Amino acid sequence: MGSMSPVLVVALLAVAGVIGDYFIKLAGHGPRYIDTKWFVLGLVIYAATAFGWFWVMKHIKLSSLGVIYSLTTVLLLVGIGIFVFHEKMNVYEIIGTIGAIGSVVLLSRFV
């Protein structure tokens, strides 16, 4: 991770977190109360990101990290909800998502 941008690493960690979220959602999505294999896989992915978070927190302000991570995670989860789980968005959720995209654009100019 030596020469990688901390902002890029935060985005990659968000992607890893969303992949973990996907497996956790999958664990509870079937007919069983919990599908243990998907739950454990999601848990392992979450745990593996701890090393990346340690590095990122040494190189970027926590407030910037929080905003970048939150917005990236929200946008990725919206995409998974729509395209994988076929969830529908109402007009307020669409407006909120557009606002989140605008926030990412603005923040990326000033971080």
* Domain extents in the chain: 6-110
Q: Which pTM was predicted? A: 0.69
Q: How would residue 102 be classed by pLDDT, with cut points 50, 70 and 90?
A: confident
Phi, psi for 3 (deg, rounded to 5): -100, 5
pLDDT, position 24: 92
Answer for the pair 34, 28: CB distance below 8 angstroms, yes or no.
yes
What average pLDDT does the segment 63-78 reach? 83
Choice between 41 and 1, residue whose per-residue pLDDT is larger: 41
pLDDT, position 19: 93
Distances (CA, A) of 88 to 24, 26, 60, 66: 20, 18, 35, 27
